[in-house]
Structure 1
Amino acid sequence: MKRAYTKPISEVSEADYFPLAKMAWEEDCPDQDITSVSLFSSNQKASAFLNAREEGILCGSGVASVLSKLSGGDLQFTFFFEDGQRFVSGDTLAKIEGSLLSLLRVERILLNFLQYLSGISTSTRKIVDQYGPKGIMILDTRKTIPGYRKLAKYAVYCGGGSNHRLDLSEMGLIKDNHLALFDSAKIPVGKIRSNFPGRLVELEIDSLDQLDDALEAEPDVLMLDNFNIPDTKIAYQKAKSKNPNIMIECSGRFTPEKLEALSEFPGVGVSMGYVTHTTRFLDLGLDIRTDS
């Protein structure tokens, strides 16, 4: 099944983590960790084990290399699972060795990244496992925490989901506020194709009254926003009969329990802000042991 409208976020680099990790590093400890420096010496060594307390899909391991650099090279990370791999409760996901003070300083930052991104991957995988075999493409949205856009979409991909556009520059999407300013959808579709040839153009409609005009405009993707199932069926069949290659996307506050009704529309995409804005932190723990 297709995994992206444009370019999939199938990998991320250290540079994608660095600004957020550096901000977290400075935010969490602007001066000193007054608890740890009062209790332990600067030359004390320790090991820590990242353990899963529930089943999930790993995502976010790339932040480790940034945290290692921010700690001055005092920490060495060894991951036993790769991003996108499933683990079960009780699995040890990684081992960290080095300075005890550095371990205590990075603990919360490391867990915040891994618990958040793994939470997205895990919730996405549950939805994809259930509805992917029924021909539904689970798409993310731009409803992400500022700064986390690419990482959140990477987490969706690691969970088996598909990526919608990464940003406003990647493809055209004519929404209701755009369309309201034109007499026909042909005009904005044509303008985008003229200015940015080769880019995908998606057109959103929110009623069957707009369908004929939308199909005459020949967008690459037709988004059916807040359509009920009977109207979705009419729009889907009419669009596919006119252009079998057109991509159909459904949107509008979709949650997992609402997806079953769409299984009669093969290849339909469903954009779900749910997978990024309603995720919960996965339960992971860092258990530290001092060297004897």
Structure 2
Amino acid sequence: MTRGYTTPVTEISEKDFDALVTLALEEDLPAGDITTDSLFGSEEICKADLHAKEDGVLCGLAVLPCLIRKTKAKVTWKPVLVDGDSLSKGTIIGSLEGSLVSVLKMERILLNFIQYLSGIATNANKVAKEFPNLLILDTRKTLPGYRKLAKYAVYTGGGANHRLNLSEMAMLKDNHVAKAGSIQSAVQIVRNANPEKKIELEIDGLLQLDEAIAANPDIILLDNFSDSDTEKAIETIKKNAPGIRIECSGGITPEKLKFLSKFQDIGVSMGYLTHTVKFLDISLDIK
């Protein structure tokens, strides 16, 4: 099962977070760190271990070298683990060695990135592990500027990526269909204008199903369907149009996931993966 409708975000590079790191530094250190600068000298050195304080999945380490470079810190990063590795309480992720002042100034920023992205990866991992036969998809419900990082974290945790942005794949909803006049017209208009792009069609009831199948989109999204209607729709699509992918969304509860897990190759999109995130508890122990 491919873990994404378009090209999944399997890696990130500095260009994906350079502006965010710059903004974080400007936000946190507009005129230096008055506490650290008052108490510590530039000659003082330290070793700081980055370690987990709870179970989870690691994500976001690529930000560290960028942060060190931008702060011109006289610090060396020595990783022990890589993104995607499992964490348990006490696991050492890596260590920073060098200027104590530099480490203190970057501590909160590096933890914010790594805790946030590891929290997303951990969220995705829990659901993907519990329901391995479902394609657990993210959404575009992400913080501005963090879209690619958040989707990378979902993929790192074992989840799958829906479209990265509005330019990557078409998604027809009720207002688009209303403008076109019908489901078939909406699909055909978009396909004629963008023949190389995938098209997803959202429907909200069984009455739209026959026309949706006839329009032959790449994906049919069953939005807020009851369990019984979901089962009918899946059986109908698989029987009459096996080439069309099926996705379920809206009010996805643990009970709904258990119900959907009896089907094979069904996508389930969950905004929860990225918009309801608890920072994973990771600490920097400075010695």
What TM-score does the superposition give when structure 2 sets the normalisation length? Answer: 0.98
What amino acid sits opposite 1:21 in the alignment? V
- The residue number in structure 2 matching 1:145 is 143
What amino acid sits opposite 1:102 in the alignment? S
> For 2:110, what is the secondary structure of its paired residue?
helix
> For 1:49, what is the secondary structure of its paired residue?
strand
- The residue number in structure 1 matching 2:243 is 245
- Asked if the contact 1:255–1:274 (Cα under 8 Å) also holds between the matched residues in 2, the reply is no
Equivalences for 1:41-190 in 2 at 5 Å? Answer: 41-132=41-132, 135-190=133-188
Q: CA RMSD in A?
A: 1.0
Give, in angstroms, the shift of residue 108 of structure 1. Answer: 0.4
Structure 2 gaps of 5+ residues are none
Q: Deviations over 1:76-127 (max 9, x none)?
A: 1111111111121111101011211110111000000000000010111111
CA distance in 1, matches of 2:74, 2:188: 56
CA distance in 1, matches of 2:64, 2:94: 10
- Asked if the contact 1:127–1:256 (Cα under 8 Å) also holds between the matched residues in 2, the reply is no
CA distance in 1, matches of 2:251, 2:99: 47
Identity of aligned residues (%): 51
Give, in angstroms, the shift of residue 71 of structure 1. Answer: 1.6
- The residue number in structure 2 matching 1:8 is 8
> For 1:222, what is the secondary structure of its paired residue?
strand
- The residue number in structure 2 matching 1:259 is 257
- Asked if the contact 2:73–2:99 (Cα under 8 Å) also holds between the matched residues in 1, the reply is no
Give, in angstroms, the shift of residue 195 of structure 1. Answer: 1.2
CA distance in 2, matches of 1:160, 1:18: 25
Segment drifting more, 4-13 vs 259-268: 259-268
Give, in angstroms, the shift of residue 177 of structure 1. Answer: 2.1
Change (3 A) 1:273 1:221: same
Structure 1 gaps of 5+ residues are none
> For 1:264, what is the secondary structure of its paired residue?
coil
- Asked if the contact 1:253–1:273 (Cα under 8 Å) also holds between the matched residues in 2, the reply is no
Segment drifting more, 61-70 vs 176-185: 176-185
What TM-score does the superposition give when structure 1 sets the normalisation length? Answer: 0.96
- The residue number in structure 2 matching 1:202 is 200
Give, in angstroms, the shift of residue 279 of structure 1. Answer: 1.3
Change (3 A) 1:54 1:257: farther
> For 1:259, what is the secondary structure of its paired residue?
helix
CA distance in 2, matches of 1:111, 1:255: 30
Residue of structure 2 aligned with 1:226, choices 220, 224, 227: 224
Q: Deviations over 1:110-157 (max 9, x none)?
A: 00000000001011111111101xx21100000001100000000000
Give, in angstroms, the shift of residue 42 of structure 1. Answer: 1.5
What amino acid sits opposite 1:12 in the alignment? I
Change (3 A) 1:156 1:256: farther
Count of matched residue pairs: 287
Q: Deviations over 1:129-188 (max 9, x none)?
A: 1101xx211000000011000000000000000000000000111012212223211111
Give, in angstroms, the shift of residue 55 of structure 1. Answer: 0.9
CA distance in 2, matches of 1:47, 1:176: 57
Matched, 1:268 2:247: no
Change (3 A) 1:257 1:99: farther
What amino acid sits opposite 2:61 in the alignment? S
CA distance in 2, matches of 1:20, 1:283: 21
